Amino acid sequence: MSHHYAIFSARYAPLTGGVESYTQNLAQELARRGNRVSIVTSKLSDSPDYERIADRIEVWRLPARSLMNARLPLPLRNGDYAAMFRQIMNSTIDRVLVNTRFYSHSLEGLALARQLEAPTVVLDHGSAYLVLGNPVEDAALRAYEHAITALVKASRPIYAGVSAKSCAWLETFNIHTSHVLPNAIDAASFREKASHRHFRTEFEIDAEKTLVCFCGRLEVEKGAYALAQAAHLCGDGFEFLLAGEGSEREQIEALGLPQVHLLGTVSHQDLSKLMAESDLFCLPTRSEGFCTSVLEAASWGLPAVITDVGGVREVYGTDPTYAKILGDRTPESISQAILSCKQEGLVGHFPELERNVEDNHTWEQTATRLEALYDKA
């Protein structure tokens, strides 16, 4: 039996990010199974208010105010908003999925589900509090997150986490669940789309040098600056390519390290090629629900130096063979872990990792879990 899913995601393409990618890929798999999918998001760009992007997938972009550089959109409940919401209400939606707890947009999805009497899943994509790096602002964000979670809980939805870490994090809000709807990847497709760019040639990196790659925002929470400092401590024999943009770029450039190369924002094709050429993946991030770049790195069989965030144990194992788990994010700890990988021969590409991702982390499996969750409801 086919269904009509509404996926509420406060941010969506053309904006990029983990939740946006998750929404897009899950929608495609649900549609492939014969379901209809309405993605309901915020209008934060020049994209059309309504867009049909595939035979069974449509996107509604509700009017919104952009706060925190579009990281925290707020619904703008004007006449256009009301008219669009009525149209969504009058469709045949019978299942609602809300991505994350902490957006006002999420409350809109819960309100729609109540009116339609549709079963609702709230999927958490985090594993720690949101932070901005300012103690006062961070305290306000924590208070906001608890307040809005209390409103979400009033609707009594089904809860799930994108990883075991996300489920454990929900305990902070007295939410208990063991339902995991994990992030996933089409590993073969990711490898096949690799571009023809040659990073070692472009940056004059000798074949005998160990190439370490990073993919993420150049922000404090991702650990980009700490990684650059660790690069200096690693000494000769290593080169570091960092893909991404962010506020730490100037700090990293100011270090003047010849072995650290900043790529800026790269295409998905170039990212795949970067991982194909690299020997080690490093991401000293503060928190992740289930980091997509972990799946991408493992798709190429790359070992990792990484913090114990969501998705790491799922991909690399509870007692990781192909990963060094960081106890902290200091440059000293990062450099020691990278040097240990080199000394132990934990660099290069490992087919076992590729097979694990291909066999156990597919969108087909995630969609099956989601459908089973609704069937039980």
pLDDT at 30 over 90: yes
Phi/psi for 184 (5° steps) reads: -150, 180
> Using CA atoms, how far apart are residues 293 and 315, in angstroms rounded to an integer?
11
The 10s digit of each residue's pLDDT in 164-203 is 999 999 999 999 999 999 999 999 999 999 999 999 999 9
Question: Would you give the end-to-end CA distance of the chain in angstroms?
Answer: 16
Average pLDDT over residues 291-295: 95
The 10s digit of each residue's pLDDT in 125-172 is 999 888 777 889 889 989 999 999 999 999 999 999 999 999 999 999
Q: What is the DSSP string of 108-142?
A: HHHHHHHHHT--EEEEE--SS----S-HHHHHHHH
The pLDDT, as a whole number, for residue 301 is 98
What is the rounded average pLDDT for all residues in the chain? 95
Q: Residue 124 pairs with which residues in a beta bridge?
A: 161
Name the amino acid, one letter, at 305: V
The 10s digit of each residue's pLDDT in 34-52 is 999 999 999 998 999 999 9
229-232, long-range: CB < 8 A, 24+ apart: 229/255, 229/331, 230/284, 230/331, 230/332, 230/334, 230/335, 230/338, 231/257, 231/259, 231/260, 231/335, 232/257, 232/259, 232/331
The pLDDT, as a whole number, for residue 69 is 73
Listed in sequence order, the DSSP H helices in the chain are 18-32, 79-89, 104-116, 135-153, 164-170, 187-192, 199-202, 224-234, 249-255, 268-277, 292-299, 312-316, 331-343, 351-360, 363-376
pLDDT at 70 over 80: no
Contact 306, 226 (CB under 8 A): no
> Using CA atoms, how far apart are residues 353 and 322, in angstroms rounded to an integer?
8
Place of tokens 């965030």: 309
The 10s digit of each residue's pLDDT in 219-268 is 999 999 999 999 999 999 999 999 999 999 999 999 999 999 999 999 99
pLDDT at 314 over 90: yes
The pLDDT, as a whole number, for residue 326 is 97
Domains of the chain: 4-184+362-376 (3.40.50.2000), 187-359 (3.40.50.2000)
Contact 39, 27 (CB under 8 A): yes
pLDDT at 305 over 90: yes
pLDDT bin (cut points 50, 70, 90) of residue 278 is very high
pLDDT at 334 over 90: yes
The pLDDT, as a whole number, for residue 57 is 98
pLDDT at 275 over 90: yes
pLDDT at 54 over 80: yes
pLDDT at 17 over 90: no
The pLDDT, as a whole number, for residue 137 is 86
The pLDDT, as a whole number, for residue 165 is 95
